[in-house]
Structure 1
Amino acid sequence: MFKQRTITSWLAVGEALAPWRPLAEWPLLILVGVTGVGKSTTVEALQTAGLSFTLLPNRRELTDELIIGQMQTAAGEAVQLVTDRIKRFDYTAQYRQKYPGGMAHALSQLLVLPSELPTAQLIFDGLRGVEEVTYAAELLPRAYFLVLEAPLVVRVKRLLGRGDAFDKVSSIAQKRAEVGLVGLIPEAAGVFTAEEEAELMGLVADGVVSAEDLQGKLKIVLTERANYDPDGAREALLQVGRERVILGDTVALSPEEIAALVRDRWV
């Protein structure tokens, strides 16, 4: 097995051979939140606010770099890029079964090269779920956690509006939209209020989005809901290290206000 593999000029994975040092020794801010809570917008606000930090490869990139290929190899499959979000969830679930902590385990394997590191402080986007954040809080003692939150309906609307090519799901049967959200995806039963359902279905009725597009975005957020527990992750962090947690409601607070919280608590 390899002892160390370089990812960038200042980032590697494997054994901490000098002069490389474990990521656990560095000041790190970890964004915690599921799709659509506003992580990318928050990072932009932190940059605009003039905070000095270096971004680690994000969750998508580290999933490709450290997780999916490993799971494909273990299953005897050809190593290839996977863009379908539901298939990616399957691979990451397999990784979590093998390594408690999932992405947090992968993150804890990273090394930094001090002489090449652009800034002293690092930011990672991001972790989610109780196991990941609990594992990270223990293995990364210098890490702070910025917990970003938004209601399900807001997250769905943000996904519908952002046009990210990554937000796609294949092999979902199109159903009649006339019967409501449950007609598009049964897992939506009992999740949204009547007002929220009317708001989302109104986007279809008004021709703002297609029923197929809404169906795909619902599948993304509800699959995440089944795999991760945002409320549980927040509470788990508050239990293990309240002084290391920054809470950011991305509906109640502007990106600039969240950046100010980070400046006050972390920088």
Structure 2
Amino acid sequence: MSEPVPLPFLRSTPSLPESPWAPLGSLPLTVLVGVTGVGKSTALQALQEARSGLRILPDRREVTDAVMIRPLAGGPVTDREQRFRLTAEYRAAHPGGMAQALGSLQADTTHWGTSPVFDGLRGLDEVQYAASTFPSWRFVALGAPDAVRVRRLLGRADAFDRVQTDTPAADVRGSLLAIPGVRAVFSPSELGDLAVLTTEGHSPADIVARARIVVSERQNYDPQAAEAFLQTLPRSRALLLDTVALNPGQVAQAVREWAADPGSDDSGSAGLQVEG
């Protein structure tokens, strides 16, 4: 008997499904790929516009809470860095990470339809697992430099973008340099640029908190490796977008055109869209 999970019209899959339930791994999902602040919301809106009646599955955060965080922590966790630690613990036992968690669920297709969208996957392990294990899934990958992502996180005012930090107003750069692993993610000049974001009205604590989120994500996921792998897939399965080279309107147009033509297949090359 399948077990319920605290997600609407979804359940775990230890047994064979009966109609109208179907494993998500068997459905032709469209999956957004990218770390925080790369512009997935724009792509998601474009997909909704391109495909009338499209259903959006509970997002990564909700699936993480239901399948990973709550079982490990015994309750909700809001601190981003603690969540990264718990999801890393889950991945140690489940190498496919979020892809494996999502694929372990059954969906009621009378509610979700037969080709829903999921936001999203991160890193090489998740993407590689998803592409090889679920051949009907398609991927829209979005990328942006880490320093740009910090700026975007500062601008979006999401209550979820929180970590515990104590940043002296007089030493933003020093606080940035004190983030474990920060030098592997940001160059000295990028750290200098982040430190002076206080002149644009951002608080030192917010700047350091967003930088810590980006560093923590990079320590757990490798966006460049995921994109390199997706470039080996045919265009019918993978669309890669640079959300700095492309403005939001161009991102939306590229996604709509790709979603509207699922049969196109330039074998061996992904749809890398870069326009000035």
The equivalent residue for 2:89 is: 94
2:209 is aligned with what amino acid?
G
Checking the alignment, whether the CA contact within 8 Å between 1:7 and 1:13 is kept in structure 2 is no
1:17 is aligned with what amino acid?
P
How far apart are the structure 2 equivalents of 1:16 and 1:219? 43
Q: Which sections of structure 2, spanning at least 5 residues, go unmatched?
A: 261-276
How far apart are the structure 2 equivalents of 1:43 and 1:157? 21
Question: What CA deviation, in whole Å up to 9, does each residue of 1:229-256 have, x standing for no partner?
Answer: 0000111223355541101111111333
Q: Secondary structure at the match of 1:115?
A: helix
The equivalent residue for 1:169 is: 163
Checking the alignment, whether the CA contact within 8 Å between 1:55 and 1:124 is kept in structure 2 is yes
Checking the alignment, whether the CA contact within 8 Å between 1:29 and 1:145 is kept in structure 2 is yes
- Going from structure 1 to structure 2, the CA distance change for 1:115 and 1:97 (only over 3 Å counts) comes to same
Q: Secondary structure at the match of 1:37?
A: coil
- Between 175-184 and 48-57, report the one with greater CA deviation: 175-184
- TM-score, normalization by structure 2: 0.84
Q: Secondary structure at the match of 1:252?
A: coil
Structure 1 residue 53: Cα displacement: 1.3
RMSD: 2.3
**Percent of aligned pairs with the same amino acid:** 42
Matches within 5 A, 1:1-267: 3-5=2-4, 7=6, 10-14=9-13, 15-19=15-19, 20-49=21-50, 51-72=52-73, 79-117=74-112, 119-170=113-164, 172-175=165-168, 176-177=170-171, 179-180=173-174, 182-183=176-177, 185=179, 187-189=181-183, 191-193=185-187, 195-204=189-198, 206=199, 208-239=201-232, 243-267=236-260
- Work out the number of aligned pairs and report it: 257
Question: What CA deviation, in whole Å up to 9, does each residue of 1:155-209 have, x standing for no partner?
Answer: 0000111110000002x343552645644535333643455334322211x2611
Q: Which sections of structure 1, spanning at least 5 residues, go unmatched?
A: 73-78
1:41 is aligned with what amino acid?
T
- Between 255-264 and 33-42, report the one with greater CA deviation: 255-264
Q: Secondary structure at the match of 2:197?
A: helix
Q: Secondary structure at the match of 2:239?
A: strand
Q: Secondary structure at the match of 2:111?
A: coil
Question: What CA deviation, in whole Å up to 9, does each residue of 1:68-109 have, x standing for no partner?
Answer: 12223xxxxxx1110001111111001101111111110111
How far apart are the structure 2 equivalents of 1:161 and 1:180? 23
Tell which has more relative contact order, 1 or 2 (C-alpha 8 A, sep 6+).
1
Checking the alignment, whether the CA contact within 8 Å between 1:248 and 1:258 is kept in structure 2 is yes
How far apart are the structure 1 equivalents of 2:161 and 2:171? 20
- TM-score, normalization by structure 1: 0.87
Checking the alignment, whether the CA contact within 8 Å between 1:9 and 1:116 is kept in structure 2 is no
Structure 1 residue 17: Cα displacement: 2.4
Checking the alignment, whether the CA contact within 8 Å between 1:181 and 1:201 is kept in structure 2 is no
